[in-house]
Amino acid sequence: MNTSSAPTLSSSLEKGRPVFSISPFTLLDFPDRTGCILWFAGCNMRCSYCYNPEIVLGKGKRSWGHVREFLLSRRDLLDGVVFSGGECTIHPQIISFAMEVKAMGFEVKIDTNGSRPEVLRQLVEEKLVDYVALDFKAMAGNYWKITRSDLFLAFEKSLEFLLSSSLRFEVRTTIHSKLLTAGEIEKMEDWLREKGYTETYYLQHFNGDKETLEDLGKSQKPVLNQNDVVWRN
């Protein structure tokens, strides 16, 4: 659970408009698939570098009926649907949404901060998801500073669950030099490898061109000793 000063969920959850917007086509966000992106409104974190303040803080604009109509029109054109946000797993109907999308014949990718391991488990166990991108924000000691939440243990549970499953997933971290030093990033990678993660660990350097939740200023891309991370633009 969040502490009292942690973010509260958007009222869009209650008003039947769970989705902020739809990106109708992407070749970049679902590995080896053509897809579209559903940007779910609201988030239970407040990362200062967040590129999507209007999605995190704003209200949803699209009803599920609207999303359904859009997806039906793309049934033979796209392979997959990315559930992103915001944090899609905080939506009470996420399971039934995924069920419907799978029943239409799409593959489903979930972008998540890992804060709802029980939802992730249900999605995986009911075979409603084909790929997960899991955000690793920071080690426990830095987690509040970066996310304004105390959800590290929930993230760790999600990671452990994914490691124990056979689902394809990736772990990724956004880097701003004011928030994470090179040494801290190297410790995060060591911890991840000790946990048993053997796939590519993706790092994304903060892009100062976009509006963010807080004004952090420019970031210096850190020089790392590790060779087995991949920088992603």
**Is residue 130 involved in binding ligand SF4 (CB under 6 A)?**
no
Residue with tokens 């409603």: 128
| Cβ closest to ligand SF4, residue 78 vs residue 171 | 171
**Is residue 47 involved in binding ligand SF4 (CB under 6 A)?**
yes
Q: Which of 13, 19, 37, 50 binds ligand SF4 (CB under 6 A)?
A: 50
Closest CA to 158 of 184, 193, 186, 133: 133
| Cβ closest to ligand SF4, residue 78 vs residue 213 | 213
| Cβ closest to ligand SF4, residue 78 vs residue 185 | 185
Q: Please provide residue 170's backbone torsions phi and psi, each rounded to the nearest 5 degrees.
A: -130, 155
CA distances to 14, 155, 169, 189, 191 from 201, rounded to whole Å, are 36, 16, 10, 8, 12
Q: Pick out residues in 82-121 that bind ligand SF4 (CB under 6 A).
A: 85-87, 113
Q: Which of 10, 52, 158, 173 binds ligand SF4 (CB under 6 A)?
A: 52
Buried-exposed string 189-226: b where 16+ CB fall within 10 A, e elsewhere: beebeeeebeeebbbbbbeeeeebbeeeeebeebeeee
Binding map of ligand SF4 across residues 170-209, x = CB under 6 A, - = no contact: ----------------------------------------
Residues that bind ligand SF4 (CB under 6 A): 43, 45-47, 50, 52, 56, 85-87, 113
